[in-house]
Structure 1
Amino acid sequence: MKVKKNFKEGDKVVMHSCVEAAMYNGKVWECSTDSFVDKANDEVVYLQGFSGSFVCEYLQLVNVPATINDMQILIHDNAVKKGFWEDEEWNFAEKIALIHSELSEALEANRLPHNKGYCKVVVSDITKIKDDAEFLKKFEAQVKNTVDDELADSVIRICDLAEVEEIALELHVQAKMRYNSLREYKHGKNY
């Protein structure tokens, strides 16, 4: 007998072990309804932005920070625990250069022929591995140093620096998105 998932409206989930999981590659979906049993006796749920219901057996609940600001705090706390802020005399330019280095690593991964620099697995399948040693082995073999991984590193470093600088990054991103939506095509430039 299948284990009931009992998803609730607002839960964040990712698809796994199905064709759609490969198509959406780790996309986080929000449940727009509680899960329920359909006419075929499958537990299903509706997902925001997805047409029709989806079988819960192929969904996994994810613990996603509610906001970018929440993510900033978690990221900075981990960076402190790992020793990245031991120096009381830190250098802003150095932190920006480290962000730039992550973006350069993404560019180098992108330059590999035949899309070899991109993650070829559904990353949510790896993150659900409970054993840390197995997770590390799979991550290092299938995700590490890909474009996907280096862009994630860039975001992590940006969030860490924003937290130290006491910048409410989420509010600034929202304001900038609105500002950009009101600008002219290509913001008046060639590219």
Structure 2
Amino acid sequence: MDPLIPSTGWNSDGLDAACAYVGLLHAEVESTLEEMVGIILENSRTVTFHYQTHPVLMNCVLHYRARINGLAPELDIIPAKGLLKKDPLLLIKAWDNHVKPYFSLMVEKNHGAGVKYMEKMLHPLGVVVNEKAFRRFEGQGVSKISSIRKVGMVELMELASLRGVAMHGNSRAARTRLSITTPENIAARGAMSVSCMRQIATVLAKDTWKAGR
């Protein structure tokens, strides 16, 4: 933000720059989260294929088994957990043929990166964002691997709120909402949001990536 805003406070150009900054940074947060989860899932498939069943892949397949079979129970297209645990190649087949396309469609249709979307992305892996919400996933057979509950997400959620105004409201509403902040405040929120994503990446790398090894 620093090169785009006046040091004395907002002017018309600065408010426009702030709206663009908020929207673009939030889009980057969303993209980063999706990319991290995608890489972890590919790693879990590779580990399952070459070494042993990775709990992230098992968690994700079991969650979407409940979702997909709930939509078409008469088909029962993904085998039960007992069969998946016995046969890693069956687990991989279920992921490749059914779960991965369903997961990709969910990502494609999403716009935004609030807490609810983080739950959608991370709870199927076994990463707890919200303990109460995660219980439903446990009921589907998803086992807890890690947690980001202690990661500070307040600033990220504030940024999500600002992004909603900047991207989905009219320009007058967005400028009004941003005008009650300061350039320094917006820049600080952006920096804290980046820090939040860095913390999440660290948790995923330390716990979720290595799970089952």
Same-fold status (TM-score > 0.5): no
More helix by share: 2
More strand by share: 1
- State the TM-score, normalizing by the size of structure 1: 0.22
Larger RCO (CA within 8 A; separation ≥ 6): 2
- State the TM-score, normalizing by the size of structure 2: 0.21
